Amino acid sequence: MPELPEVETVRAGLAPTMEGQVIQVTDVNRPDLRWPFPERMADRLREVRVLRLRRRSKYILADLSSEETLLVHLGMSGRILISGDPLGQFHHAHPAPEKHDHVVFHMANGARITFNDPRRFGAMDLAPTDQVDRHKLLRDLGPEPLGNAFDTAYLADQLKSRKSPIKSALLDQKLVAGLGNIYVCEALFRAGIAPTRRSDRIARPRVERLVPHIRDVLREAIAAGGSSLRDYRTAGGELGYFQHRFAVYDQEGNACQTPDCAGKIKRIVQSGRSSFYCPVCQR
DNA sequence: ATGTGTTCCTGTCCGC
DNA sequence: TGCGGACAGGAACACA
């Protein structure tokens, strides 16, 4: 989990240490994560400069001087830690490798970037930079929720032909790219829409409200530095960087925060995933 | 073409 | 303390 705000926080945290800097050596400690690593990955990540760190949906994209782009997905439990940072922001030296430290980038500037992922639902791949948009994992992604293409007209158009619950629709990365379970629950709460509501049965004014709520909840989370959950850490490795109190996510049984609402947050399962919502103010 | 269920994997927590 | 089961941020894939 990391969703869009967490991935953006990691990207921003890595940028000062990686952008414009050279990866001297890459240790690849196992052959795969969710899928096998690309051919000769360690070789292709040796003596290359990182020109830019970008983000697309929940992917971090590192454009390299070799004219390849490294794609990184954190899956459910992926973390990236910085150590030995020459900027002196992080006071620890290189720690001993830990369990699940699958890939380690040794930067020429002395920093070390460690990718740790216990569940191994994460992924890495390399693709030519000029074709990376057509990569299998990226080509079918919908618009960025914080971008201009994600607007009321687009969302209304997408939802009018869908019979699935709105919860499932917003988790569909083809509709909009980067939302996950937490922020879908939070955005639906803010919009007063029940996660069970059929996508094609949401009145237009409510669809219109949904767009800014999605944007707001993501922007606030990014501004706060991503959420701190069980497996999430900032790129600097700090713990409890931001203890977010979600309005509904993981709040089963708690009182609804809406003023004068007597509702209690409920948990249901949709498509095998928990949805949290207030049955009183979400309809 | 849509929609839902299963699957990958490890770790943590909770009840007995 | 140990043990079993439920559950966890994702999303590709198989199947109706």
DSSP conformation letters of A133-169? GGSTTTTT----TTSTT-SHHHHHHHHTT--SBHHHH
User: Distance, angstroms, CA A165 to C1' B5?
Assistant: 15
CA–C1' span, A1 to B10, in Å? Answer: 14
Orientation angle between helical segments A204-223 and A4-18, nearest 10 degrees: 40
pLDDT at A234: 55
Answer for A258: CB within 7 Å of strand C. Answer: no
pLDDT digits (tens, 9 = 90+) for A25-81: 999 999 999 999 999 999 999 999 999 999 999 999 999 999 999 999 999 999 999
CB distance A178 to A145 below 8 Å: yes
* pLDDT tens for each residue of A135-181: 999 999 999 999 999 999 999 999 999 999 999 999 999 999 999 99
Nucleotide B6, nearest residue via CA and C1'? A272
Report the pLDDT value the prediction gives residue A91, as an integer from 0 to 100. 53
User: Domain A4-134 carries which CATH code?
Assistant: 3.20.190.10
Contact A132, A61 (CB under 8 A): yes
Is A280 (CB) below 7 Å from strand C?
no
Q: Give the pLDDT confidence of A185-205 residue by residue, as tens digits.
A: 999 999 999 999 999 999 999
Strands (DSSP E) contained in chain A are 22-28, 48-56, 59-64, 68-73, 79-83, 101-107, 112-116, 123-128, 266-270, 273-277
Q: Of A60, A59, A56, A47, nearest to A21 (Cα)?
A: A47
Beta carbon of A30 within 7 Å of strand C?
A: no
CATH of domain A152-277: 1.10.8.50
pTM across the whole model: 0.94
Q: Does residue A173 reach within 7 angstroms of strand C, measured from its CB? A: yes
Locate the domains of chain A by residue range: 4-134, 152-277
pLDDT at position A105 is: 97
Q: How far is CA A45 from CA A2, A53, A54, A78, in A?
A: 24, 15, 17, 20
In 3D space, the residue among A241, A240, A213, A237 whose CA is nearest the CA of residue A225 turns out to be A241
Q: How far is the CA of A17 from the C1' of B5 (A)?
A: 42
For residue A172, which amino acid is it?
D
Annotated catalytic sites of A, by residue? Answer: 2-3, 58, 273
| Burial group, residue A61, by CB count within 10 angstroms (0-12, 13-18, 19+) | buried
- Please say if the pLDDT value at position A84 is more than 90: no
pLDDT tens digits for range A230-256: 444 555 544 334 456 799 999 999 999
How many of the other CB atoms lie within 10 Å of CB of A226? Answer: 26
Give distance CA A21 / C1' C6 (Å): 45
